[in-house]
């Protein structure tokens, strides 16, 4: 009897089809509700289902991209990765990572055209998929939108901490990989020195969009989005809010730039529904996810 790796979604994401395994040449949504290393305000474990719930009640049409979820190529909702809660966050994380390995074993992400959109969960969950895409694409560009640099070697004893996610991904970087970051406004002196020395931090939105515009249309891109990228005035429902963040329209500009590029994967992390009892942050995050889903669907995707 094969191991059960996923819980089917209680409610499918709007317009998605259900699939029990990753589909080739398609976008696959998966929830990864782990928040074991969250150090301030927990609650991100329930975010994937909160986003699915809201998605059924918002418009499927994006006026920013002039595109509708009902019009794009089929995409799939795999449900939520099974995450144990033993009280040992490190072991629970490693067990969840191993489940992803088993879910995707023997699959060639590049040759099979497998795209993932992962819904967190805290930011540490991004590592599992980013490492897979770095292996699949030797020229991958990792775009990082966040309030925090996430470049610590470890944090509070956790090697795979939400505060060290980008450092762990750099462990898998080859000579053709590239990191570019925007929105960061919190970190240690050492993290900022590293970003300056390696020229990974965009000074403003215009520079970040110009970088995307300058990428060849065939170059693969992974976008990791920590929702504390947005100012807490707009997006309060996150674990570690930082004043001075961006608004929704900055993200629209980024998505519009990505629309003509080769998005191979993305994740949206750090929504914590319990933090914002109004539910406004759930709606905000769900609209962000809608725009990202649509950004995956370039014109050539309609030919599949």
Give the start-to-end residue ranges of the domains of the chain. Answer: 6-303
| Overall fold of domain 6-303 | 3.40.800
DSSP string, 170-210: HTT--TT-EEEEES--B--HHHHHHHHHHT-B-SSHHHHHH
Inter-residue contact 269 to 226 (CB < 8 Å): yes
Tell me how far apart the alpha carbons of residues 76 and 16 are, in angstroms, rounded to a whole number: 5
Residues 6+ apart with CB under 8 A from 214: none
Burial of 252 (0-12, 13-18, 19+ CB in 10 A): middle
Q: What is the pLDDT of residues 117-149, one digit of tens each?
A: 999 988 889 999 999 999 999 999 999 999 999
Instruction: Supply the Cα-derived Rg of the chain in whole angstroms.
Output: 18
Global pTM?
A: 0.94
**3-state DSSP assignment of residue 245:** coil
Q: What is the mean pLDDT of the chain?
A: 92
For the chain, the first-to-last Cα distance in angstroms comes to 34
What confidence tens digit (pLDDT) does each residue in 101-115 have?
999 998 999 999 999
């Amino acid at each position: 009897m094969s191991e059960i790796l996923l819980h089917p979604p209680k409610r499918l994401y709007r317009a998605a089809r259900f699939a029990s395994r990753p589909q080739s040449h398609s976008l696959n949504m998966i929830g990864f509700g782990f928040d074991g290393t969250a150090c301030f305000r927990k609650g991100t474990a329930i975010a994937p289902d909160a986003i699915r719930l809201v998605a059924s009640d918002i418009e499927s049409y994006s006026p920013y991209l002039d595109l509708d979820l009902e019009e794009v190529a089929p995409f799939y909702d795999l449900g939520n990765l099974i995450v144990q809660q033993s009280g040992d966050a490190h072991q629970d994380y490693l067990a969840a990572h191993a489940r992803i390995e088993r879910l995707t074993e023997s699959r060639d992400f590049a040759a099979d055209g497998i795209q993932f959109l992962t819904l967190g969960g805290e930011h540490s969950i991004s590592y599992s998929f980013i490492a897979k895409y770095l292996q699949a694409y030797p020229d991958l560009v990792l775009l990082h939108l966040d309030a925090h640099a996430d470049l610590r070697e470890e944090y509070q004893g956790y090697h795979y901490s939400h505060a060290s996610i980008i450092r762990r991904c750099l462990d898998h970087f080859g000579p053709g990989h590239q990191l570019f970051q925007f929105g960061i406004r919190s970190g240690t002196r050492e993290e900022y020195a590293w970003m300056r020395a390696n020229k990974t931090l965009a000074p403003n939105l215009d520079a970040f969009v110009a970088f995307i515009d300058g990428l060849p249309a065939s170059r693969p891109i992974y976008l990791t989005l920590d929702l504390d990228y947005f100012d807490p005035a707009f997006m309060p429902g996150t674990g570690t809010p930082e004043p001075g963040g961006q608004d929704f329209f900055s993200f629209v500009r980024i998505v519009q730039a990505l629309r003509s590029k080769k998005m191979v994967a993305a994740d949206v992390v750090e929504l914590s529904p319990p933090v914002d009892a109004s539910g406004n942050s759930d709606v905000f995050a769900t609209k962000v996810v809608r725009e990202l889903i649509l950004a995956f669907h370039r014109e050539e995707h309609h030919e599949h």
